[in-house]
């Protein structure tokens, strides 16, 4: 199983970024796909999850209304559109795959390598 995250970079506060995650080696459409992030000196935290069909999503309170998760099962890809970014969004962002709907990192079977998002003030 391989998850490859991309799209991170440096952006000014108030700006937008779109992260993508390409999956291989798994039956993608059978997995919930989650996004997590880890800021310097902090624990990894849940950001968003999308169900296998793409019809159900759930977000952390800190990003709800600003971030949108989506998926394309035909391309084995999941994306995270991030708008109205602020400095507190600075972190390494990870995509991950789980067979269940969960916000708990320990229940995710596969992880991408992470992509760094830096938001400047």
For 40-63, the pLDDT digits (tens) are 999 999 999 999 999 999 999 999
**What local confidence, expressed as pLDDT, does residue 80 receive?**
98
The string over 40-72, giving b where at least 16 C-beta atoms fall within 10 Å of a residue's C-beta and e elsewhere, is eeeebebbbbbebeeeeebbbeebeeebbbebe
Residue-level pLDDT at 34: 98
Cβ distance 85 to 119 under 8 Å?
Answer: yes
Whole-number pLDDT of residue 41: 95
pLDDT at 16: 98
Residue 72 tokens, joined? 């394309």
What is the percent of the chain with per-residue pLDDT over 70, rounded to a whole number? 100
Condensed to tens digits (0 to 9), the pLDDT of residues 75-86 reads: 999 999 999 999
Give the Å distances, CA to CA, from 22 to 77, 91, 101.
Answer: 5, 20, 20
pLDDT attached to residue 25: 95
pLDDT score for 4:
97
Residue numbers of the chain with a pLDDT score lower than 70: none
């Amino acid at each position: 199983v391989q998850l490859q995250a991309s799209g991170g970079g440096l952006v000014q506060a108030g700006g937008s970024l779109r992260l993508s995650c390409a999956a291989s080696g798994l039956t993608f459409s059978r997995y919930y796909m989650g996004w997590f992030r880890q800021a310097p000196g902090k624990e990894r935290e849940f950001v968003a999850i999308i169900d296998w069909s793409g019809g159900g999503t759930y977000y952390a309170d800190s990003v709800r209304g600003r971030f949108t998760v989506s998926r394309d099962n035909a391309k084995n890809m999941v994306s995270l559109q991030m708008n109205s970014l602020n400095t507190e969004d600075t972190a390494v962002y990870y995509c991950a795959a789980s067979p269940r709907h969960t916000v708990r990192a320990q229940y995710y079977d596969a992880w991408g390598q992470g992509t760094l998002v830096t938001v400047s003030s």
